[in-house]
Structure 1
Amino acid sequence: MNIVFMGTPDFAVPSLKILIEEFNVSAVFTQPDRKKGRGKKLAITPVKEIALENNVPVYQPVKLRTDEECIKALRDLKPDFIVVVAFGQILSKEVLDIPKYGCINLHGSLLPKYRGSAPIQHSIIMGEKVSGNTTMLMDVGIDTGDMLLKDQVEVKEDMTSGELYDILKNKGADLLVDTLKKYSKGEITPIKQEDDKSTHASMLNKDMAKIDWSKTSEEIHNLIRGLNPWPVAYTSYKDENMKIYKSQVLNKESTKSPGTIINVNKEGIEISCGKGVILLEVIQFPNGKPLSVAQYINGHSIEEQEILK
């Protein structure tokens, strides 16, 4: 089976590795190298790194849909499948029509919920108890194609989006192989998505990371774990940004104003919310490292009755 793989971040790496083992991956398409870090050195994508290690030809179009040279190369490759995992570019109908069997995408949500660029983070933010992967046939819409296979993962109440990301990227690789083998034999009947049940998972940004203490302790806890490891939820303590990496919902109520620090001890910082109380367990101040509250209060003070903004 001749496969062209399109992907960019580390989420796509397990999928590419297993496809190289199981099938003939004739080419990899990934985003262009970008400057990163303080030194602004040119960095290759995680997918490109795996492709080069395995001597798979790499194409890096700035915009595939308008790159005639790359589209011609794609036609010449005569792929049975194009497999897409977090490529980061929208494919035109011209590209979608090239492979013999179609373009198959691995998406990190149980579609039609959380279509879009940040499904894993949004599923945590919204407090989902179950998440998973979906493979689907791609069409010109964003994550709107007919579904092929799914797998489910239980989301525990303290699981971060980073932890769920790692689980789904590995499970997704196996789901892809299963999908390709079964679909090419006609063993899967595609299922149309119910558009009226769809939700959108927009790109993450730092603005959404600021905590609104008038929300419930559960909503704030979900935001904190949903934005860990990036962009990380934050608040303002005495005009200084405090990032919060880990929290816990307490079985308590408070009559204090939302954002009020009601107790500080080695277990953490208890904060009054719009409804309920949350315990902040791992925090970070500017120019410091993430520390447990027990570590932080060893050399610093957090004042009770102060109101977080």
Structure 2
Amino acid sequence: MKIVFMGTPEFALPSLKALDVHHDVVCVVTNPDKPKGRGGKVTSPCTKVYAESKGIDVLQPESVKAKEFYDALTSYGADVFVTCAYGKILPESIISIPKFGCINIHASLLPKYRGAAPLWHCIIDGEKETGITTMMTDVGMDTGDILLAREIDIPVDMTMGELHDVLAELGSVVIIETIDKLMDGTLKRIPQNHDEATYAPMVTRETGRIDFKKSALDVHNLVRGTNPFPGSYCFVDGKKLKIWKTALVDMDVEDARPGEVVEIDQTGALVKAGLGVVRIIEVQGENAKRMHVWDYNNGHPMPPGTILN
């Protein structure tokens, strides 16, 4: 089957590779190259790098509404478009080009967590399961008919980065199954229940600000849900402290304030939350490397009574 693939970040790469092995990917559409890192070096998306290594045409439109983009896509005569974290909402004029329409690979169990950041929000919210949904793309934000959905469990200590990698690989499996069913005529469309929809807006650096007035579980979920990006943080004596790893503790302390260090040793720092206590294990100070909180404490003492806010 002739496919135009639209995707930009690392999450999209396993699906692109799988489609390239099993079908005829005639073009890859991705976002324009952009400066990256402190040096500002202009870098190509990984999907573009892969496509060029395989001799696949690449399009990087500034606007998906441009006539030139429409004409270029039409010229490929694709049977279906596949999108995966492309980063732009396609107009009806583009969606309607291929014979079988446009199929999107979404990193949640729709209709829950529509939007740009389902990987982050499902962990921050403490969900116990999530998955991959393939769906027909329409002009709304992840509102099209569901095609296939595959579920996985989310372990209590899984980070967003770990979930990203698991779902990226699962997406590559589900999209091949979806295309196979499309080809043999067994693919069924299931309308979404829009009343059950929830949303996952873009995360920012401010998303990672820890509020120790919340429960220990909420703090733990925020830390793992923002790892590795944008990262969670608090302030100690006016200095920013990134929190990279925490653990839940089956205890509480009555005579301590939220954010107060109640104990610190080689196993971590026990910090009072609004409900319960969270163990902080790995941190990163300003202009420093990630390290165990006990090692950090040796150079920046955080004795019991220290307040994190």
> Which bracket does the TM-score occupy, shorter chain normalised?
over 0.9
State the Cα RMSD in Å: 0.9
How many angstroms apart in 2 are the aligned matches of 1:40 and 1:126?
34
| Secondary structure in structure 2 of the residue aligned to 1:200 | coil
1:101/1:184 contact within 8 Å kept: no
The aligned counterpart of 2:288 is 288
The answer as to 2:124 corresponding to 1:125 is yes
| Secondary structure in structure 1 of the residue aligned to 2:222 | helix
Q: Give the partner amino acid of 1:307.
A: I
The aligned counterpart of 1:50 is 50
The aligned counterpart of 1:104 is 103
Please list the CA deviations of residues 62-105 of structure 1 after superposition, one character each: whole Å capped at 9, or x if unmatched: 111x2111110111111101000000011000000001111000
Q: Give the partner amino acid of 2:259.
A: G
The aligned counterpart of 1:141 is 140
1:28/1:51 contact within 8 Å kept: yes
How many angstroms apart in 2 are the aligned matches of 1:185 and 1:102?
16
Q: Give the partner amino acid of 2:61.
A: P
Alignment of 1:46-85 (within 5 A): 46-64=46-64, 66-85=65-84
Q: Give the partner amino acid of 2:28.
A: V
Scaled by the length of structure 2, what TM-score is found? 0.98
Q: Give the partner amino acid of 1:198.
A: A
2:6/2:83 contact within 8 Å kept: yes
| Secondary structure in structure 1 of the residue aligned to 2:50 | helix
The answer as to 2:261 corresponding to 1:261 is yes
Alignment of 1:1-309 (within 5 A): 1-64=1-64, 66-255=65-254, 256-309=256-309
Please list the CA deviations of residues 225-249 of structure 1 after superposition, one character each: whole Å capped at 9, or x if unmatched: 0000011110001111011111011
2:264/2:294 contact within 8 Å kept: no
| Secondary structure in structure 1 of the residue aligned to 2:275 | coil
How many angstroms apart in 1 are the aligned matches of 2:218 and 2:14?
32
% identity of equivalent residues: 41
2:269/2:294 contact within 8 Å kept: no
Shift of 1:294: 3.3
How many angstroms apart in 2 are the aligned matches of 1:186 and 1:292?
55
How many angstroms apart in 2 are the aligned matches of 1:185 and 1:91?
27
Shift of 1:158: 0.3
Q: Give the partner amino acid of 1:107.
A: H
How many angstroms apart in 2 are the aligned matches of 1:110 and 1:267?
36
Scaled by the length of structure 1, what TM-score is found? 0.98
How many angstroms apart in 1 are the aligned matches of 2:299 and 2:209?
26
Please list the CA deviations of residues 12-47 of structure 1 after superposition, one character each: whole Å capped at 9, or x if unmatched: 000111111110000010000001122211100011
Shift of 1:303: 2.0
1:258/1:273 contact within 8 Å kept: yes
2:134/2:147 contact within 8 Å kept: yes
How many angstroms apart in 1 are the aligned matches of 2:41 and 2:15?
27
Shift of 1:296: 2.4
Please list the CA deviations of residues 144-178 of structure 1 after superposition, one character each: whole Å capped at 9, or x if unmatched: 00001111111000000100000000111011000
Greater alpha carbon shift after TM alignment, 237-246 vs 288-297: 288-297
How many residues align? The count is 308
Shift of 1:298: 4.2
Structure 2 gap segments, 5+ residues each: none
| Secondary structure in structure 1 of the residue aligned to 2:234 | strand
Greater alpha carbon shift after TM alignment, 126-135 vs 297-306: 297-306
| Secondary structure in structure 2 of the residue aligned to 1:279 | strand
Shift of 1:208: 1.7
| Secondary structure in structure 2 of the residue aligned to 1:116 | coil
1:33/1:43 contact within 8 Å kept: yes
Please list the CA deviations of residues 258-284 of structure 1 after superposition, one character each: whole Å capped at 9, or x if unmatched: 111101101111110110000001100
How many angstroms apart in 2 are the aligned matches of 1:303 and 1:68?
64
How many angstroms apart in 2 are the aligned matches of 1:213 and 1:291?
21
Q: Give the partner amino acid of 1:266.
A: Q
1:210/1:235 contact within 8 Å kept: yes
Greater alpha carbon shift after TM alignment, 291-300 vs 95-104: 291-300
